[in-house]
Amino acid sequence: MNLQGKTALVTGASRGIGQAIAFELAKSGIKRLLLVARNQQRLAEIAIDIAAMGVEVIPLVLDLTDRVRVNIVISQAWRDYGQIHLLVNCAGVAYQAPFLQSKLPHVQEEIAINLLGMYTITRLLARRMVSQQEGTIVNVASLMGKVAAPTMSTYSATKFAILGFTQALRGELASHNVRVMSLLPTLTDTDMVRDLQLFWGVIPMSPQRVAQALIRGIDRNQHEVIIGWQSHLAVWGNYLVPRLLERVIQMAAPLPSQKQFWQRLGARS
C-alpha cells in the first residue's frame, strides 16, 4: 500500500506502540490521521506534535468498549473527513497473573478491549472500505498470539484469537480489495509492560522499531509482521520443536515457586 496522501485511523494512539505508529505514518507521507484513545490530554499533545510535521490530525476521544459511542463517532468521522484507507487496531490491555490467581474483571477487560473493541471498530470501517473497494486493516496481535506464555494465559488467548480473526477476515475481504494483516510485536518498552514481571532473557525493543517494521510491512503487503530475531526463533521453534520450546518458555517464565504459590493462595483464601 502506498501511504502517500492517504487517511489512517490508529487506535491506542495516546501511548506506546500506537503513538509510535502514528508518528511513523506521519513521516511516511500520510495526509490525515485520526487518533483514537480515552486520554484527551495525551491525544491533544500528540496531535500538536504531528500537526507540526504537516499532517492533518483529528483526535477522537473514545472508549472502545462503548459500542454506541464508537458507532456514532466513527460514522461522523467518515462523513466529516472522508474515506479512511488504513485502520490500525492497536489499543489493548494486558494483565499478568498465574491462572489460579487471575481475576475475572481483568479477564473481562482484556476480552472487552482486545477482542470486542477491535471487532466493533473493524466492523464499522470494514463495511465502508468494502463499499469503496479499497482499504487496509492492521490488527496488532503479539508474539504471544503464536507462542502462549505462562502467567499471561488470558492475554495470550485474546492474541491467538486476533490472529484467527485476522486470517478469516483476510480471506473474506480480499475480493473487495481490502487487505487485512497482523503485527506481532514481542516485548516492547511501553507503559503496558512497566509493572509486569518479565520473562528471563527477553530483550525489550523500542516502540519506534515496532512502528518502523509495520510501515515496511504495509509497503511490502506482508500478511504478518514479525519483528526481531528472538521472535523469528520462537515462531520457528514452536513449529519445528514445540515441546522443547514449551520447556524453554516455562523455564524463562516468572512463575512463583511452590512455596510462594501456596503462600499466595493461602493469603487469598
Ligand X SMILES: NC(=O)c1ccc[n+]([C@@H]2O[C@H](COP(=O)([O-])OP(=O)(O)OC[C@H]3O[C@@H](n4cnc5c(N)ncnc54)[C@H](OP(=O)(O)O)[C@@H]3O)[C@@H](O)[C@H]2O)c1
92 sits near ligand X (criterion: CB under 6 A): yes
Q: How far apart are CA 5 and CA 28, in angstroms?
A: 10
Write out the binding residues for ligand X, residues 168-207 only, by CB under 6 A.
185, 187-188, 190-193
- In the structure, how many helices (H) and strands (E) does the chain have? 11, 7
Q: Are 180 and 170 in contact (CB under 8 A)?
A: yes
From the CB of 192, what's the least distance to ligand X, in Å? 3
**β-strand partners of 7:** 32
| Phi and psi at residue 95, to the nearest 5° | -125, 140
Q: Are 11 and 70 in contact (CB under 8 A)?
A: no
Instruction: Report DSSP state, residue 84.
Output: -
| Phi and psi at residue 265, to the nearest 5° | -65, -40
Can 155 be counted among the known catalytic residues?
yes
38 sits near ligand X (criterion: CB under 6 A): yes
From the CB of 183, what's the least distance to ligand X, in Å? 8
16 sits near ligand X (criterion: CB under 6 A): yes
From the CB of 150, what's the least distance to ligand X, in Å? 16
Write out the binding residues for ligand X, residues 18-37 only, by CB under 6 A.
18, 37
Sign of torsion, CA 200 201 202 206?
Answer: positive
> Which one of 1, 44, 93, 235 is in contact with ligand X (CB under 6 A)?
93
98 sits near ligand X (criterion: CB under 6 A): no
From the CB of 110, what's the least distance to ligand X, in Å? 9
116 sits near ligand X (criterion: CB under 6 A): no
Neighbours of 24 (CB within 10 A): 21
> Could you tell me the three cell numbers for 219?
509497503
Identity of the residue, 130 or 161, whose beta carbon is nearer to ligand X in the bound complex: 161
What is the total count of residues that contact ligand X (CB under 6 A)?
32
> Which one of 7, 10, 15, 107 is in contact with ligand X (CB under 6 A)?
15
Among residues 81, 95, 119, 155, the one annotated as catalytic is 155
**β-strand partners of 138:** 88, 181
Identity of the residue, 216 or 262, whose beta carbon is nearer to ligand X in the bound complex: 216
From the CB of 109, what's the least distance to ligand X, in Å? 8
CB-based burial label for 102 (10 Å; 0-12, 13-18, 19+): middle
Q: How far apart are CA 31 and CA 84, in angstroms?
A: 11
> Which one of 22, 30, 55, 64 is in contact with ligand X (CB under 6 A)?
64
> Which one of 31, 39, 150, 198 is in contact with ligand X (CB under 6 A)?
39
Q: Which residues bind ligand X (CB under 6 A)?
A: 11-18, 37-39, 42, 62-65, 90-94, 113, 117, 140, 142, 185, 187-188, 190-193
Would you name the residues annotated as active-site residues?
155
